[in-house]
Amino acid sequence: MSLICPLCQRPLSLQRTSWRCDNHHQFDQAKEGYVNLLPVQHKGSREPGDSAEMMQARRAFLDAGHYQPLRQKVAEWLPALLSAPQPRVLDIGCGEGYYTAAVADALHQQTEAEVYGLDVAKVAIRAAAKRYRDILFCVASSHRLPFADASLAAVLRIYAPCNEEELKRVLKPGGYLLTVTPGPRHLLQFKALIYREVRLHMPEEKPYAGFTRIDQQNLAYPMRLTGAEATTLLQMTPFAWRAREEVWQTLAQAGQFSCEADFCLTLWRRD
Ligand SMILES: C[S@@+](CC[C@H](N)C(=O)[O-])C[C@H]1O[C@@H](n2cnc3c(N)ncnc32)[C@H](O)[C@@H]1O
Ligand SMILES: [Zn+2]
C-alpha cells in the first residue's frame, strides 16, 4: 500500500475498517469501501468538486457509450507500458470511475496491480466505489496527493486538475503520466451554437517540469447524439454557462445532433 496520512504523511495501513498511521490518526473506511482522506482544513468549500447532478449527468452520458473509444484506447495504452508484477496506478480526478475501471480490468488480466482512483467530490467517489469493487477509491485533492514519494508506476489524468510538483513527487523515476485533453475539433458543433466565431481549440502544450514527453496521439470520431444526450453533454462542458436559453431549447428539441469528439492523449515519462 502506498497511501499516506494527510495530516502527518506517515504510511497508512488498513486495520479492520480503518486506515491508521502510527501517530494514531484514523480514517474510517466507508461502507462502500472508499476512504475520505480530505481533512476539513484542506477542503476549501463545503462540497468541493463536481455536484451530484453533474456526476449523474456524466455517468448517464458515459454509460451510453459515446466515449467508449477513448476508454478503450486508454485501457490498451497504459497497461501495455507496465511490466512490473504489481504496478501501482492512480487515476486523478477520476469522477465516477469510468476510465479507472477499464484500466484496472486490463491490468488485472496481466498483473496484480493496485489501482487507485482519487477525486475531491465525495458523491463521485461514493458512486465509483459502489460500482467498482476492486479499486481503492479515495476522496482527496490532486493538490495534495495522499501517496508516498516515488510509490506509483503510472498516473492517469483525464480532464482533471493537477499539481505538477505532486505528480513528480509520487511517480517513480521512469514512471508514466498519461494525460487526455481536448483536441482541436472537440465538440466544435457546440461551439458553433454558442459563439459567433468558432475557434479551434489549441491543444495544451504545457510541459510538465521533471517529465519528458514521449508520445502523443489523437483520437477523433463523429458522434450521433439524441437531443437529450446533447443537452447532457453540454452540461459536462466548460462552455455550458455561456449557452443561451435558446441553445438549450434547440438541443432539447433536436431529434438528433451530430458532433465531433476529438481527444489528445499525451504520454510523459518521469525523468
Ligand atoms: C471533467 S471531470 C473528469 C472526470 C473523469 N476523469 C472523466 O473524464 O470522466 C473533472 C473531475 O475532477 C474533479 N476535481 C475537481 N477539482 C479537483 C481537485 N482539486 N482534486 C481532485 N479532483 C478534482 C471533479 O470532481 C471531477 O470529477
Ligand atoms: Zn498521521
What would the pLDDT profile of 222-253 be if each residue is shown by its tens digit?
Answer: 999 999 999 999 988 888 888 999 999 999 89
For ligand 1, say whether the CB of 124 is within 6 Å of any of its atoms: yes
| Confidence at residue 206, expressed as pLDDT on a 0 to 100 scale | 78
259 assigned to some structural domain: yes
* Atom 17 of ligand 1: nearest residue by CA position: 120
Summarize pLDDT for 194-222 with one digit per residue, the tens: 888 888 887 766 788 999 999 999 999 99
Structural domain of residue 64, as residue ranges?
13-270
N- to C-terminal Cα separation, the chain: 23
155 assigned to some structural domain: yes
Summarize pLDDT for 23-76 with one digit per residue, the tens: 999 999 999 999 999 988 877 777 788 888 888 888 999 999 999 999 999 999
The total domain count for the chain is 1
Around ion ligand 2, residues with a beta carbon closer than 5 Å are: 5, 7-8, 21, 23, 25
| Beta carbons of 67 and 248 less than 8 angstroms apart | no
Average pLDDT of the chain is 93
- Amino acid 114 reads E
User: What separation in Å is there between the alpha carbon of 55 and the centre of ligand 1?
Assistant: 10
| Confidence at residue 241, expressed as pLDDT on a 0 to 100 scale | 87
Cα 183 from Cα 205, distance rounded (Å): 11
5 assigned to some structural domain: no
1 assigned to some structural domain: no
| Beta carbons of 230 and 255 less than 8 angstroms apart | no
213 assigned to some structural domain: yes
4 assigned to some structural domain: no
Higher pLDDT among residues 48 and 189, named by residue: 189
Closest approach atom of ligand 1 to CA 50: 25
| Confidence at residue 204, expressed as pLDDT on a 0 to 100 scale | 67
Residue 212: CATH number of its domain: 3.40.50.150
* pLDDT of 148 higher than 80: yes
Minimum-distance ligand to the CA of 90? 1
Mutate to test the pocket of ligand 1, among 34, 37, 46, 50 (most ligand atoms within 8 A of CB): 50
In the block, residue with C-alpha cell 438541443: 251
Mutate to test the pocket of ligand 1, among 42, 74, 94, 103 (most ligand atoms within 8 A of CB): 94
7 assigned to some structural domain: no
In this prediction the pTM is 0.95
215 assigned to some structural domain: yes
Summarize pLDDT for 114-127 with one digit per residue, the tens: 999 999 999 999 99
User: What separation in Å is there between the alpha carbon of 223 and the centre of ligand 1?
Assistant: 23
